[in-house]
Amino acid sequence: LNIKAIAKTFRCKYLKLNYKTLASKDSSIFLDKGMKLIEIKINSDRHQLENKAI
């Protein structure tokens, strides 16, 4: 699974963020620039791809 290719297909920018150090208020920085964040979680145990809009 190539997440960068998926981002390119949907004309999105691929950003790898560390959610342990990223505060929820920091997402407003992206929203101010008109960017919508799409979080892609990969559950390796169940092999499921979950998409959740932040």
| Alpha helices, H only, 1-54 | 3-9, 27-32
For position 48, what pLDDT does the model report?
42
pLDDT per residue, tens digit, the chain (54 aa), is: 677 787 777 777 676 666 655 555 555 556 666 666 666 555 555 444 455 544
For position 33, what pLDDT does the model report?
61
